[in-house]
């Protein structure tokens, strides 16, 4: 196993203390190289994941987010399940004031899917 694969395998989300919880500021993160596998065919699915949130006490550490999202690359998971899992994990871990996760999947078989979840 290569060192990058080891880093991805053991990845978990890390949070940092928000030093400005009194401010309602928005954080936008874009992850344009998300991949997972279709649970039916095994074909790869590609997406851009967009995360927008207003932090409360915590912010996500970006390298840990990148490595954690890369754990999906070998998983057989539907678009909907992947985005719901990402959303729920971020919501439970960060406890933000506001959160939106969008999965903008590349068309496959002439079908484009965009999944948006927000609170």
How long is the chain? Answer: 119
DSSP annotation of 17 reads E
Query: Whole-angstrom Cα distance, residue 102 to residue 83?
Result: 7
Known active-site residue 36: no
The one catalytic residue among 38, 56, 81, 104: 38
CA 43 to chain centre: 20
Asked whether the beta carbons of 78 and 37 are under 8 A apart, the reply is no
Known active-site residue 38: yes
Query: Whole-angstrom Cα distance, residue 36 to residue 96?
Result: 26
HSE (side-chain half, CA atoms, 13 Å) at 14 = 9
Tokens found for residue 49:
């994941």
The one catalytic residue among 45, 56, 74, 81: 45
Residues labelled as active-site residues: 38, 45
């Amino acid at each position: 196993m290569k060192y990058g694969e080891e880093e991805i395998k053991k990845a978990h989300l890390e949070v940092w203390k928000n030093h400005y919880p009194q401010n309602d500021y928005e954080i936008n993160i874009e992850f344009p190289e998300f991949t997972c596998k279709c649970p039916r065919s095994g074909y790869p699915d590609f997406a851009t994941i967009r995360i927008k949130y207003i932090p409360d006490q915590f912010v996500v550490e970006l390298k840990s987010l990148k490595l954690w999202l890369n754990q999906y690359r070998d998983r057989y998971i539907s678009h909907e399940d992947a985005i719901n899992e990402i959303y729920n994990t971020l919501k439970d871990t960060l406890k933000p004031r506001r959160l939106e996760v969008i999965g903008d999947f590349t068309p496959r078989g002439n079908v484009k899917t965009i999944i948006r979840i927000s609170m």
